[in-house]
Amino acid sequence: MARKRLGDLLREEATKTETAQPAAKTIEVAAAVVQEASSTSSPPQSAGKTPAKEDAQASDAGHDAAVNAQLQADLEQARQNEAALQQQVTNLQEKLAQAQQQVQSLQQAVKQLEGLKAELDQAKATALQLAETNASLMKDLEGLRQVSRTPVEVYPTSLSPQEMMRRQQAASLAHPMFPAGSMPGQLSNQDLGWVD
């Protein structure tokens, strides 16, 4: 009769533990129950102790399952946190790349501005020089205006043609003009050769 009860207990335990524990745990529990039942001499006492141990093992298994579930939840939360952090890293890398591009474009703009500043300085110097030249030309122009305001000697138009001719001859004799070359009909040293 003790063997029948042990077999019934094993069946009940197997059906209970199949839903709560994996198959390997069920086999271990059943093996422990069988060993305990065979080692005790009084079957009714061992049958009375077995359910308490099984309840303790079932509560341990439940505790293990709860711990595993909590660990799984923590692991899933850690994975979600890791994914969020990875996304933040990606976003920050994109922002860094954009900032680097902006820095490069600003550096190019600064170089262009420096070139434009140099051109502006040169244009200012040229404008200043032109202003000075303009002032000098204005002074020269004013001087010429002063000269042009002085009375000019006017020849009387009532002179006879002979008198006008004499004055022109006198003016040309005062400033004679000579040709640049030799006079026509005059022989040069080369034309003469060496004469002893």
Q: Is 17 exposed, middle or buried (0-12, 13-18, 19+ CB in 10 A)?
A: buried
Q: How far apart are the first and last CA of the chain?
A: 179
Q: What is the pLDDT of residues 23-48, one digit of tens each?
A: 455 556 556 655 665 555 444 444 44
In angstroms, the CA 149 to CA 141 distance is: 12
Q: Global pTM?
A: 0.34
Q: What is the pLDDT of residues 35-86, one digit of tens each?
A: 665 555 444 444 444 666 666 777 777 788 888 889 899 999 999 999 999 9
Q: Is 29 exposed, middle or buried (0-12, 13-18, 19+ CB in 10 A)?
A: buried
Greater confidence (17 vs 42) lies with 17
**Cβ distance 52 to 28 under 8 Å?**
no
**Cβ distance 33 to 43 under 8 Å?**
no
Residues ≥6 apart with Cβ < 8 Å to 54: 13, 29, 33
